[in-house]
Structure formats: structure tokens, C-alpha cells
Structure 1
Amino acid sequence: MKYSQFNSIVRTNGNQALYNSFTEKVVLLENDLAEILRAAVTEGIDELENVHPDLYHYLIAEEFILDTQVDEIEKVKKIREAVDYNASSYLLTINPTMNCNFKCWYCYETHIKSSKLTRTVLESTKLFITKKIQDEEIKHFNLAFFGGEPLLYFQQVVEPLIDHAVEECRKYNKVFSTSFTTNGFLINDSFINYFVDKNLMPNLQITFDGYRENHDKVRFVSEKRGSYFDIVENIKKLLKHRHFHVRARVNYTDENIHDCSKIADDFQEIIDENRSSQFLFDFHRVWQNGKLDDTDLIVNENVEKIRAKGFKVSTNLPDNLANSCYADKLNSSVINYNGDIFKCTARDFENKNREGYLTQEGEIVWENDSQNKRMFSKFKNKPCLSCRIMPLCNGGCSQQAIEHVDVDYCIYSGVESEKDKVVIKKIEEFLYAEA
């Protein structure tokens, strides 16, 4: 027998816990049992049967101890294949424009004021949508909008594409869904009524840059007018209807994290009116911002405060195998306003970075074998193949794998204590859910 590669023993909240990152099972251990297990791992796991047979056989039953013939990496690969090569759904992301009504300091995109999805690209995109929906293997079609700020051209670009996709899905009996990544400032009654009247239920990700004053330093209309209260009110308007689900993405830095939990106070009526199931907070660090030693603790404190007020919070823990990035999936593509094709939306949409282009006939031409290179980029990084949290991290996304071709890398810089933090947080989330 062998001790699973994906096991970790960590201390959390005064306890010791055994966690497996593949099965995501957790066992809380008394200190003496934890030390017995640690010794057995060092001396040979089969020694545990002599010292503590009950624990030994329990760990076999719970898959912490495996037959030596089990190939754990192969099991990970099979899940990845099932997830990323799933042919039953397609995600198409559209950038109606690269222009935006804000200029956030950390935005990686080049804003192009005159950019707008052209009539030619619009018609080619409709052809592409029809061809995908006609595909018998595809049962679910998701149309997402990114940018730039997609609502700048809602009537001219977004509505015609949704109308077309909805009609095609009805014609071919497919499931349709839609989503938006938007700053939320341009949401109005016309936007809301469009979805309510058609009985569509979009998901929206809307960003806050900290609480009130901090947010308005980043996202402002003018020197004298911020955007915080407008966005709060727009979200409230959305959530008065059952049709909308909103993920409030909180972009935090060491400067703004301290009072982020106060954002929830401005949505108290959502709790009072029992609409919290439509609303979720999601914390993300601004990647350009350096990390202070106590930031994780402060984030956790904010999460607990928001939860205590009755709201749902996602802590954005890695789950890159079972819930991989959209760009990792074969059935996913991004059409830029000019017809350039991309997979990843977290990099600048410059022409030199494109992975292909959309033809007038509604076909994607992948250049330089870009799609195959991306799909075969995983499981080539040696540190990942021996890592205990591989099923969680999986070397990050395919974009990170592509950017580290032939270079060993680790998302956590090979620091075991950072991996422990991930494991501990996973255990805490498990215990929170069980409570």
C-alpha cells in the first residue's frame, strides 16, 4: 500500500487534520494519532497497521492510503479530460468594444475609444452561433459579454446577438444562458426590462474596488462624482427581479481591504427581503498590489463579517481541476470586436496576441496550432506532477502553462507553507459548510 501523494497533515483551529486534495475528504485527528501517522509516513505507511490497525484500515477505506498500483496522476488526467473536453456545452464570449466608461489604474486592457463590433463581424458571429447550436453534441449554449464595457453597445450589439442565440436555441431545442462582466454603472430600466420581458436569467459580475471612498478613487465619472452609490442602487434594482443573479467581485489591495465588509451594509434590504440567494460576494486581490503578511487574515475577517450579516461569500479557493478556467476548455472561444479570436480574457486583446480569426462564413481559423498547443499544455510541469495539491491548483490555468513552456514553475513559488494555507482554508470551508 502507499500513502496518497495528495495527502496533507496540517494544524487548524487548535486541531490537526488530514486532507486529501483529490477526494477532498477531511479527517480531524487527535494529536497523538497525527504524530503516529506522521511517523508511519516517514517509516513506511504499512507500519501503521502494526501500530494502529483501526486507523490504518480506516484510511484505506477513505482512500488516504491506496494500493501501490494506483496511478494518481492518471486519475487526475481523466477528470481533466472529462471536464475540459466536455462536448455538451459551448461558451462564447463577445467583446462588443474595447472602450470603457472608467479608467481603473490596474486594468491590463488597452482602451480603444472608436472600437465597436462591426456589422460584418456581427453577422459572422451570428453564423458561428447558428453552427454551434446546430451541433448535435452541444446541448447548452452560453453567450457571455466582456470588454471593455459591454453595456456601452447593449442595443446595437448585445441585444441582436442574444435575440439570435435565443431563437436558434428554441429552434434546435437547446438550453440558452447568458452572462456579463460589467462595471454595472450603465445598468438601467431598459436593460432590466429586456431580460424580464423575455424571461431570461443572466448572471452578472459587477466589481467594487473597496468600500465607498476607496472605490470612488478608482472608478469615477469625474473628479467630483464617483460611482459607488450608482452601482449599489443598480444592483438593488436588478435583485428586485428573480431573473438576475449578481456576483459582487471585490477587488482588494492592502489599502482598501480593511473596511470591505462595510459594502454588505449597503445591501441589507436584500437580506430583509429574502433575496440573498441571488447575490454573492467574491474577493480577488489586485494582482499588481504587493502582499502584506497579514492580508490573508484581514480578508478572512471581512469574509466572516459579511457571512455573519447573512450573505454568501466565495473565497476564490483553487479548484482548477473540477472547475477549470473557461480558457482551458475545448468548447470555448472569445470573439473580439474586430473578429480576432482569443481564449483568455485576462490578457490584453492586442492583435499580436490573438489565437485566430473569425471568417465571414462564421468559422474560426486557429493560427499557429494555438488551440492544440493550449489543450496539450498541461501535465508537462515537473513540480506539478509531484505536488500534494495538484488536483486543486493543477498548475494554474492553461494560459499560465503556455507562458511557462519548458520552464519549471509553481503558482505558490514552491513554498510549502503557502500550500498549507490553501489546505487549511479548504478544511475551514468544509467545516463551515458542515456546521
Structure 2
Amino acid sequence: MKYSQFNSIIPYNDQFALYNAFEDKVIFLENDLKELLIAGKNEGIDELETIHPSFYKYLNENKFLIENDVNEVEKVREVATKVDEQEAMFQLTINPTMNCNFKCWYCYEDHIKASRLKSTMVIKVNKFITKKLQDESIKYFHVGFFGGEPLLYFKKNVIPIIDHLAEEGANYDKEFGINFTSNGYLINQDFVDYFHGKNLSCNLQITLDGYREEHDKVRFVSKTKGSYFEIVNNIKLLIRNGFHVRLRINYTSKNLRDTFKIIDDFSDVDLKYIKKNLIVDYHRVWQDDAVDDIDIILNQNMEIIKSKGFNVTGTFSANNVLNSCYADKRNSAVINYNGDLYKCTARDFNKESRNGFIDSEGELIWDDGYVEKRMKSKLHNKPCLSCRIMPLCNGGCSQHAMENLENEEGYCVYAFDETQKDKVIYAKITDIIKEAV
């Protein structure tokens, strides 16, 4: 037998936790057992069977110990391939425009004022949707509207696509889903009435940049008019009408402290709508990456929000193999307003970065060999192959892998910081405990 590569021993409250990242299992150890296990790992794990047979048997049965001939890395690859090569679902992201009604300081995108889907492009997109719904292997089709602000030209550019999806979904008896990533300012009663009138539903991710004053410093209509209350009122309109909203709080070290107060502005909404239709999701702005004690402040805010009956997330609990990025999957594509194709929405949508185009017949024409190159890019990074959290991290996403193909020294999304890896494991253990309660 051998000690699994994916085992980690970390302090957890007043105990030590042994966690296996592939099995997603944890056991808690007293110090004596922890020392015994470390000694066995270093001197020969089979010696543990003689010293403490019941402990050895438990570790074996729960796969903290595995057979010597097991290739653990290959097992991770097999799971990742099964997830990313699935054929039953297709995930399409559409940028109806790259224009936006705000200019947030952290936004990585170029705002192109004249950009929008032309009617000819809508026809191409609809042809593609029909082709995919005709495919017998596709059981579920998901359309996400991104941008830019996807609601800028909702009636002219988005509704024709949703109408077509709904009609063809019914024709071919296929399930489908719709979501928007929006700043929320343009939501109105007409938006709600459209979906209700079509007997459709959609999910939305809507962002706030902190509480009231902090938010309005980032997102404002004019020097004298902010956007905070308009967006909050629009979210309330949505959740009262059965729309599921992920309220993403983009936080920094400067705007985090008072974010718990945001929920006070939902005090006039029945808690049943809050519990059913709203998730508060904290997300640190990536440019704000200073090493600090911000996690303490984050947890304090989250606990206050949770105590008021709200659903809240924010502690990063990685699961990037079983729940890999949409761009890692073969059955995914991003269509820009001009017909350019991409896989990832977290990079610039310029001609130099495009990966293909959609043709007049609604076929996706990928650059020669691009998709295969991307699908084969992951889990070949040398540091990943010996990493204890490989089944959780997955070496980052395929975008990370593609951008590091020429990096002979290898890369680590946690900057080779074992303390950061311990934090990932700590979050996974906390999840296991919560689910068991």
C-alpha cells in the first residue's frame, strides 16, 4: 500500500484533519495518531498495520491508503475527461453588445459604443441553435447573455433569440435554460412581463460594488446620481416575481466593511422570496490582491447576513475537476456580437484573440486545431502532477493551461504557496461538516 498523493494533514480548530482531495473525505486525528501517520508515511506506511491495525484498516477502506500500482494522476484525468467531453449539454454564451451603460474601474473589457448584434447575425445564431437542438445527443441547451451590458438592446437583439430558442425547444422537446450577467440597472417591469408572458424563467447575476456610497463611487449615472438604489429595487422586483438572482458583491479591502448593511435595504421583501430566489455571493475584485486580514472581515459580514436568513457564499471551495469552467468543456462557445468565436469570457474580445467565427449557415468554424489543443492542454503542467490538491484545482482552467503551454518551468494558480493550498482544503473540510449537520 502507499500513502495517497492527495492526502493533506492540516490543523483544524483544536484538532488535526486528514483530508483526501480525490475522495473528498476527512477524518480528525488526535496528535498521537497524526504523528504516527506522519512517521508511517516517511518510514513505510505498511509498518502502521503492525503498530495500529484498526487505524491502518480504516485508512485503507477509505482510500487514504491505496494500492501501489494505482496511478492517481491518471484517475483525475479520467474524471476530468468524462466531465469536459460530455455530450448531453451545450452551453452558449452570447455578447449582444460590447457597449455598457457604466464604466467600472476594474472592468477588463473595451466598451465599443456602436457594437450590437445585427439582424443577419441574429439569424446566424438562431440557425446554430436549431442545429444543436436537432442533435439527438443534446438533451439540454443553455444560453447565457454577457457583454458589455446585455440588456442595452434587449428588445431588438435578445428577445428574437430567446423567442427562437423557446419555439425550437418545444419543437424538438429539449430542455433549455437562460441567464444574464448584468449590472441590473436596466431591469424593469417590461423585462418581467416578457418572461411571464412567454411562461419562461431565467437566472441573473447582478453585481453591486459595495454598500450605497462605495457602490455609487464606482457606478454612477452622473455626478449627482448614483445607481445603487435603482439596482437594489430592480433586484427586489425580480425576486418577488420568481426570478433567481445571484447578487454578486464585488469587494475590495476598501469597500468590504459595511457590505452587510446591503441586506437592510431588502427589509421590505418577504423572507420567503429572499430564501427561495436570492443568493448573496462575495467575490473579491481580482486587481485588489494585497495580502491582508480581509478574510476576517469577510467572514464577519457573511455571518451577519446569514443570521438574517439570507443565503450567502464567499469562501472559495474549489471543485474544478467535477465542476470545471464552462470554457473547459468541448460543448461550449462564446459568440461575440460580430460573429467572432471565443471559449473564455474573461479575456479581451478582440480580433487578435478570437478563436474562430460563425458562418452564414450557423456553423461554428474554429481555428484549425484550436479546440483539440485546448481540450488537451490541461493536467500536463509538471507541478500539477505531484500536487496534493490536483483533484480540486485542476491546474486552473484551460485558459490558464493554454497561456502557459510554453512555460517550461510550470505554473501554479496558487503561486506555489502551500499556505494558500491549506486554505482551499480548510474550506472543503468546512463544507463537509456543514453538509453533515
Match of 1:341 in 2: 341
Structure 1: distance between partners of 2:183 and 2:46 = 56
Pairwise CA distance, 1:269: 4.2
CA 1:269–1:433 in 2, change beyond 3 Å: closer, same or farther? farther
Match of 2:395 in 1: 395
Runs of 4+ in 1 over 4 A off after TM superposition: none
Pairwise CA distance, 1:84: 0.6
Match of 1:423 in 2: 425
Native 8 Å contact 1:92 1:333 kept in 2: yes
Pairwise CA distance, 1:151: 0.3
Q: Deviations over 1:293-324 (max 9, x none)?
A: 21222222222222222122223322110000
Pairwise CA distance, 1:267: 2.4
The answer as to 2:74 corresponding to 1:74 is yes
Native 8 Å contact 2:240 2:273 kept in 1: no
Alignment of 1:162-173 (within 5 A): 162-173=162-173
Pairwise CA distance, 1:31: 1.9
Native 8 Å contact 1:251 1:286 kept in 2: yes
Structure 2: distance between partners of 1:107 and 1:76 = 34
Native 8 Å contact 1:270 1:276 kept in 2: no
Pairwise CA distance, 1:270: 4.3
Pairwise CA distance, 1:404: 0.7
Match of 1:288 in 2: 287
Q: TM-score, normalised by structure 1?
A: 0.97
Match of 2:183 in 1: 183
Native 8 Å contact 2:125 2:362 kept in 1: yes
Native 8 Å contact 1:179 1:202 kept in 2: yes
Indicate the SS of the match to 2:152. helix
Indicate the SS of the match to 1:277. helix
Match of 1:304 in 2: 303
**1:80 maps to amino acid:** A
Structure 1: distance between partners of 2:384 and 2:301 = 32
Structure 2: distance between partners of 1:76 and 1:239 = 39
Q: Deviations over 1:327-365 (max 9, x none)?
A: 001000011000000110001101110000010111111
Match of 1:83 in 2: 83
Structure 2: distance between partners of 1:193 and 1:226 = 26
Match of 1:216 in 2: 216
Q: Deviations over 1:89-146 (max 9, x none)?
A: 1011110000000000010000001111011111111111100110010010111100
Match of 1:46 in 2: 46
**1:422 maps to amino acid:** V
**2:292 maps to amino acid:** D
The answer as to 2:252 corresponding to 1:259 is no
Match of 1:352 in 2: 352
**2:286 maps to amino acid:** W
Match of 1:226 in 2: 226
Native 8 Å contact 1:358 1:364 kept in 2: yes
Structure 2: distance between partners of 1:331 and 1:54 = 47
Pairwise CA distance, 1:402: 0.5
Structure 2: distance between partners of 1:330 and 1:25 = 30
Indicate the SS of the match to 2:153. helix
Match of 1:246 in 2: 245
Match of 1:135 in 2: 135
**Stretch deviating more after TM superposition (59-68 or 310-319):** 310-319
Match of 1:61 in 2: 61
Native 8 Å contact 2:271 2:309 kept in 1: no
Q: Deviations over 1:268-312 (max 9, x none)?
A: 444633541221121211111132321222222222222222122
Task: Name stretches of at least 5 consecutive residues in structure 1 with no aligned partner.
Answer: none
Structure 1: distance between partners of 2:14 and 2:270 = 33
Match of 1:409 in 2: 411
**Stretch deviating more after TM superposition (28-37 or 382-391):** 28-37
Structure 2: distance between partners of 1:211 and 1:22 = 39
CA 1:7–1:270 in 2, change beyond 3 Å: closer, same or farther? farther
Structure 2: distance between partners of 1:25 and 1:271 = 38
Alignment of 1:23-38 (within 5 A): 23-38=23-38
Structure 1: distance between partners of 2:260 and 2:60 = 43
Structure 2: distance between partners of 1:102 and 1:190 = 21
CA 1:427–1:271 in 2, change beyond 3 Å: closer, same or farther? farther
